[in-house]
A and B are shown apart, each in its own frame.
Chain A
Amino acid sequence: MAHTEAAALSYSSASRPGARVSDGPLLRAQNVYRMLGSGDNVNTILRGVNVNIFPGEYTSIVGASGSGKSTLLYLLGGLDRPTQQRADDDGPFDPPSRIFIDGQDTSELDDAALALVRNEKVGFVFQFHYLLKDFTAQENVCLPMFKLGRLSRSGAMERGAELLKRFGLGDKVKRRANRLSGGEQQRVAIARALANEPRVVLADEPTGNLDRKNGDMVADLFQELFETGQAIVMVTHDIALAQKSSRIITMEDGNIIRDHATEKQTTDV
């Protein structure tokens, strides 16, 4: 069984190399299936994936196009929900197909509650979908904070400006998002992902649409974040970028076929 094999390849918090925090998993996929379509046109994207992501880890998910890595990322971040029923109407999966975020079973959450979990605990960075063009860089960063409501409006704006300054965009705080370069937009997107101090940042090919220079800059940013203890899960085709992470999960045809720690991580930690 594919998921059994995958389960065997996944870490436990005790055995993984370079573990910084000995908590339970931050993100947990339990026998996760994801199917699209219906009837004879069912396309199975994920086939019983089991994986745990722990606090402080910098995980890269690699694999060929269509292997299911982005789907797994969206599911781990609560942006999508796993399929619960088998395609042949043969009842639910056993064990049930579940995603846990910070120990919370997302199948028990309605849309609003899951949205709140995303808002508070997860930060997404995408390849193309950068920013809301009608808003300034600072406002883009602040929107998740406005939603969470933990900070006052002025407090959020102040933190937004600080984050942008930290990423070298102190002079572009008030600039409209669509007037920033691609690299700058991606840095603003990373700042936005960090706005609510999420438990984990999920990045879907964050350098895929950038030139070499900007790609390296973004890669360095992720490295810096990791070094501050930020948990990161990144989908990438860039093996060099993946090598900078502490753990690499390799996917193929909807299964995890390899899950291992990198030397870099072992050396650094």
Chain B
Amino acid sequence: MRWFISIRYFLAHTRQSLVCIAGVTISVMMFIVMTAMMSGFTDKFIIETVESSGHLTIHDEPRESRTKILEQVYTDPNAMLVVHGVKPRERVKQIKNAAGLIRKVRQMPGINAAAPMVNDGAIATYGTKTINVDVLGVEPEQQVRVTTIGTKLTSGDFSRLKTAADGIVIGQGIADVLGAQLDDTIVLTSASGGRANAKVVGIFETGVTPVDYSRCYMLLSNAQTLLGRKNIINEIVVRLNDYTDAQAYASQIEAVAGYRTESWQESNANFLKIFAVQTVITYFITAALLVVAAFGVLNILIMAVLERVNDIAILKSFGLSRADITQIYVIQGLVIGLVGSITGLICGKIAVEGLRRLPIQMEGLVKAEGLLMSEHRSQYVVAFIGSLLVVMLAAVYPARRAATYDPVEVIRGAH
């Protein structure tokens, strides 16, 4: 009976009801579109960065002790401890017994692959053009198991690193800056004074600008020579079965290896923080839209209650309780919320698909053809439940107000 009355009241004011529904629909649609856009960008960045760099990286140094020796002596937390003229150690950093450690890591459950690497900065020169690059010395067949770099080549072949003497695979950004193409020879100069002529055997494009503009791959032994690090491994890259477990595995491996082990989350902490802030802003904006829509619902339901004070008195006179009256108006809120949310989800889905197809060239932190839209079921669930909840909350006040009308006072007022 409550549903019957609610629906009839709902249909009696079709225009007002549609305005309420439209408000909720737009809010939900905006939420879906904005979160899909945010997720698209974030997911692209994370996935491409993580998949092209590995899930975990074991570095050639222990994690820095939090309590330095001076702080151990002077325990006052407010003391400022300054040491002047500290001479850097001349020790060459490396992962000792890297092969043994790789074997040990590979045997751990949940580990998909592990590969050695030597990594340092260099300057790439082609003709008059120069660019700072990160040289990654890798074993090609192992590297393609720990990262997806092998699938990101737009020209050439990653395996040619093994077959071509002094081969190099460079990012598309580097190629663009230098003007180098496949089979061109570029000159690399390292900080240690090493110099090598390297033939471009592949050009990759991950879509992540910092990677494409800085990274180049060489055969491990060639890179060791160039960087002046003969037989030295200074990083081990690890691929997990599930990249979301990286932080847990990083702690575990660090305890076993004794070297600082960084998860992809730690390596990209700054970006992840920015994404988190952007997500909060997105939620805030869409929540504000939803609150505005909820105020619309509140306003219209208050008007509906005021218009039907006599009805409320009559309903109470023939046996409806305060709870029944409350439910009649809460149900109206529920119907507005349900119809608005579902319509919003459908419109949101359509909008996402439409925007995905827009031919927009994106180039910033991430490079892509078209708008990056990524949908997650959780976005739809949050949008649905959130909008329903807010609209229901907006319906509670008028519903409770309706329930409190004293039928006798109303009837006397009409006399």
Contacts and interface: CB of A to CB of B under 8 A. Distances in A.
Interface stretch (A24-32, A53-61, A143-151, A162-170): A143-151
B251 to A, nearest CB: 58
Contact of A115 (B1, B324, B415): B324
A132 B408 contact: no
B311 A115 contact: no
Interface in B313-343: 313-324
A120 interface: yes
Interface stretch (B2-10, B23-31, B71-79): B2-10
Contacts of A132: 311, 314-315
Contacts of B319: 115-116, 118-120, 144, 147-148
A12 interface: no
Chain B interface secondary structure, helix, strand, loop or mixed? helix
B269 interface: no
A169 to B, nearest CB: 18
A204 B60 CA distance: 94
A236 to B, nearest CB: 14
Given A79-B408, A134-B8, A135-B8, A126 B317 contact: yes
A124 interface: yes
Contact of B1 (A79, A111, A147, A192): A147
Contacts of B256: none
Contacts of B406: 80
B408 A124 contact: no
Nearest to B319: A119
B320 A147 contact: yes
A79 B9 contact: no
B12 interface: yes
Contact of A111 (B8, B313, B315, B321): B321
A148 B316 CA distance: 13
Given A74-B408, A128-B415, A132-B311, A79 B5 contact: no
Nearest to A74: B408
Contacts of A1: none
Contacts of A193: 318
B382 interface: no
A1 B4 CA distance: 50
A263 B408 CA distance: 33
Contacts of A116: 319, 321
B414 interface: yes
A32 to B, nearest CB: 14
Given A116-B319, A119-B319, A129 B314 contact: yes
Nearest to B4: A146
Contacts of B315: 132, 143
B310 interface: yes
13 contacts: A70-B412, A79-B316, A79-B317, A79-B408, A114-B321, A129-B313, A129-B314, A129-B410, A129-B411, A132-B311, A147-B319, A192-B318, A204-B411
Interface of A: 70-71, 74, 77, 79-80, 111-112, 114-116, 118-120, 123-124, 126-129, 131-132, 134-135, 139, 143-144, 146-149, 192-193, 195, 204
Q: Which 9 A-B pairs give the minimum distances between C-beta atoms?
A: A119-B319, A115-B321, A146-B1, A112-B321, A134-B12, A144-B318, A124-B317, A128-B414, A80-B408
Interface of B: 1, 4-5, 8-9, 12, 310-311, 313-324, 406-408, 410-412, 414-415
